[in-house]
Chains A and B, each alone.
Chain A
Amino acid sequence: MSRVFKLKSSDNETFEVEEAAALLSETIKSSSSTEITVPNVKAEILGKVVEWCNKHAESEDTKDQLIKEWDAEFVSVDQHVLFKLITAADYLQIKELVDQLTQRVGDMIKAKTLKTVEMTYPTFNVEREVQEELKSLGF
């Protein structure tokens, strides 16, 4: 008999999650109740996390090409959504999701920093263009 977990967002929306998907979260795993409130995470973001969990619970093989493509699409979001997702995934302790999201942020940084052909000296006077580019990432 599979249990159903209820996840509540900070704006009072409730998501029902099947056991298999819910147990991907370490926080839920170690929680005594089936109703968990996730503070500081709005419904829009929590909904996406639940979507990721559902997708990963239903397919056994995480190395499957289709899953990888779905994951790649999942993380191709606006940077602010990305950071909010990281905060949520971190609170729920879903390691794989945190890994994928942080890898995406890393890739975005890499893309901006590796454009500099010649590495300038690590002082405060880094090339203005690089600084501007990285500022656009939201630093």
Chain B
Amino acid sequence: MKRKRKSIAYPTKVGNKDEHIEQMGPVITDLPKFICQIILLKLPTCSILICKCVCKTWRVLISDPEFAKMHFAQAEAYPMVRPWGPTRVSRTLYLVEPEDDFSLAIKDKDYLSDCDYGSLKFDKCHFRMNLAKYKLPLRDAEKVMNNDDNVNLMRNRKHGTKRMPCIKIRPNDHKYNVVNSCNGFLCLSEPIFNDPVVVCNPVTGEFMHLPEASKQENQKVTIHCGIGFSPKANRYKVVRIFDHGSPHPITMAEVHTLGSSSWKLIGSCPCSSYNQLAFPTYIEGALYWFYYDPLKYVILSFDLDSENFQSLPPLPFQREQYRNVSMGVLGNCLCVCDAHGIHINLWVLKNHGAKRSWRRKISIETDHSGFDGERWPSGLYKPMKYCKDGGLLMFNYRTNALIYHHPKTHRFIYLKLRGIKSKFSAISHVPSFISLKDILVGDDVNILNINSRCAQMKLLGETRALFLEEEIADLASDFFTSESSDED
């Protein structure tokens, strides 16, 4: 597998070290600390991480918990995509950050005008997105570090041990599920039963193992979980929904406060373990899961402050066969995205004092492409980000693409993930530099860092670069799943 590298030529500095020292005038580290902070806070996450390595002054500044707090206060959520498949260990996550402000796109009159058929493609410079790689830990890192698990190495034993540049390991041994993201932290679970086992911060590379939870008598039931933040207690908690008791198990919930040594049983859960809870989402002090029964869609809500389940007003639409419904976060509200026929509707949960209701925030008619051959892809859409300029960024599961749409126009920008041939999953994630040390209850927990373990190792399948390419949505690829094409 060759490493695909976009070669950008930039001049190599062939200079004398003395020339650097002889500089006239101030250098950037002469600037006062808070000015440096202002400069660094405006940079995308991967740039900040690079700046951390440049000099000691900046390393200290960026590692300071004060900087992490300031950064988190102004951080936004971005899509984080992950190549996903049965043959992949999938430990690499890609955070999609725009290189420039999204608002640039709207200044282009061509984009806003529906009648303009002249420009075939939008000016590509409007959507330069940077995909920075972050890594998850491996489930059995010791095995890999001792080279016991290197399948390549084993195969070569006949011919003598030959060091391969890329390590091949078994996904079944090392893969984690990413459950959900909360304030920059990810909850990871083991892939067979979805039992939550690790909490990590992909930006800092820190991770910790969760203590052992209650065993399920019936081993075959999927566990549902998620990580959330309780504002009143100022603590991070992981919630676990599982089957408890025999011979007639009840679905129960238990909670673990990050840093404590055990799980606390809460009580029974209003849903049954037969319900497939999907799209675990954290927002504003509560965790939400989405499921359906034969007639309707239901959202399960767990308040992290009071530690109990709450009911939500029912969704304003019925369950139907060709509806593709997902749940996520938009702005600061819980959002349900309903893609049905030629409509995509985004509903948000609004609080009016004690009362809550669903309000339709965005409604898109997808048959108005306004352009020859361009069609909104069908399939499941997941809301990713509500941009400052009022535009909406969503992830389409079927085509592995990000779709940007501004309500003032019928057009959309189709950004396809290229470079790695795989299915992708995506979640909305707020990058943060906050250390696990600063959020845990006690100091008893062993905090590990992937950068001191397996980060340096290259796994097979990790060498390709991933990038987003602005393309025209392909009508042909829509053939098998779009119902409108059946009518054609």
Contact = CB atoms under 8 A, between A and B. Distances in A.
A-B interaction: yes
B10 A133 contact: yes
B28 A102 contact: no
Contacts of A86: 31, 35
Interface string B1-37: 0000110101011000000100111111111100100
5 contacts: A79-B28, A98-B35, A103-B42, A110-B43, A119-B49
Interface stretch (A15-23, A25-33, A121-129): A121-129
Nearest to B23: A138
Interface string B365-407: 0000000000000000000000000000000000000000000
Interface of A: 79-81, 83-84, 86-87, 90, 98-99, 102-103, 105-106, 109-110, 113-119, 121-124, 126, 129-139
Contacts of B205: 121-122
B166 to A, nearest CB: 14
A133 B8 CA distance: 13
Contact of A117 (B42, B134, B465): B465
B25 A110 contact: no
B50 interface: yes
Interface string B67-87: 000000000000000000000
Chain A binding surface, main DSSP class: helix
The 10 closest A-B pairs by CB, nearest first: A80-B25, A126-B53, A138-B27, A113-B47, A106-B42, A83-B26, A113-B50, A122-B49, A102-B38, A102-B39
Interface in B202-248: 205
A121 B54 contact: no
Contact of A115 (B8, B30, B44): B8
A37 B39 CA distance: 27
A130 B31 contact: no
Nearest to B26: A83
B88 interface: no
Which residue, A99, A116, A129, has most C-beta atoms of chain B within 10 A?
A116
B321 interface: no
Contact of B54 (A79, A87, A126): A126
Contacts of A79: 28
A84 B38 CA distance: 16
Interface residues of B, number: 44
A90 B12 CA distance: 34
A134 to B, nearest CB: 5
A139 B5 CA distance: 27
A25 to B, nearest CB: 16
Contacts, number: 111
A123 B25 contact: no
Contacts of A129: 10, 12
B350 interface: no
B24 to A, nearest CB: 7
A98 B465 contact: no
A132 to B, nearest CB: 5
Which residue, B5, B38, B99, has most C-beta atoms of chain A within 10 A?
B38
Nearest to B95: A119
B130 interface: yes
A118 B27 CA distance: 27
B51 interface: yes
B27 A83 contact: yes
A126 B48 CA distance: 13
Given A98-B35, A102-B39, A130 B133 contact: no
B29 A139 contact: yes
A139 B55 contact: yes
Contacts of A115: 8, 10
A98 B24 CA distance: 22
A135 B58 CA distance: 13
B479 to A, nearest CB: 34
A139 B35 contact: no
Nearest to A116: B50
Contacts of B31: 83, 86-87
B11 to A, nearest CB: 9
B455 A106 contact: no
A109 B43 CA distance: 8
B76 to A, nearest CB: 16
A31 B63 CA distance: 37
Given A102-B42, A109-B39, A132-B12, A139 B50 contact: no
B340 interface: no
Nearest to A126: B53
A123 B47 contact: no
Contact of A109 (B23, B51, B99): B51
A130 B13 CA distance: 11
